[in-house]
Amino acid sequence: MTDEQMSVDYQISENVLEAIVRGALEGERRARIHGGGTLGRGRGVDVDVAEQTCRVTVLLDGQVGEDLIEVGILAQDRIARSLTRMTGLTVGAVDVTFAGVYPVTHSE
């Protein structure tokens, strides 16, 4: 079978897509996924895929004192790059909503 004849057909589960989104923000001290969200089975993340394009909606909590616009743009970029790199999907949009804030801890 040549490359022209080969057809790649696969699906990526919602759990995997959600894990990629969460992983993209891992280690980011200025924002975290909102714990009490109403998206994606109550987990603060929803990824919709149509054909080869996905749209992400994520609820975040931001750290008090941070520039939430800057943090939101950073989150959008990290999420989009991670999803594209790991799945090959085109990311049509990453919608970020800040649902809460949390205080700076002494260890930060």
The CATH number of the domain holding residue 42 is: 3.30.70.1350
**In this predicted structure, what is the pLDDT of residue 97?**
96
**Per-residue pLDDT averaged across 86-94, rounded?**
96
Q: What percent helix, strand, coil does the chain show, rounded to 5?
A: 30, 30, 40
Count how many domains the chain has: 1
pLDDT tens digits, residue range 22-60?
A: 999 999 999 999 986 555 455 799 999 998 999 999 999
Q: Is the pLDDT of residue 63 over 90?
A: yes
State the sign of the Cα–Cα–Cα–Cα dihedral 82, 84, 89, 93.
positive
Which pLDDT value is given to residue 33? 93
Would you say residue 6 lies in a domain? Answer: no
Q: Which of 12, 96, 99, 18 is nearest to 57 (CA)?
A: 96
Domain of 79?
A: 14-102
Q: Given this model, what pLDDT does residue 8 score?
A: 62
In a domain, 53, yes or no: yes
pTM: 0.84
pLDDT digits (tens, 9 = 90+) for 3-27: 555 556 778 999 999 999 999 999 9
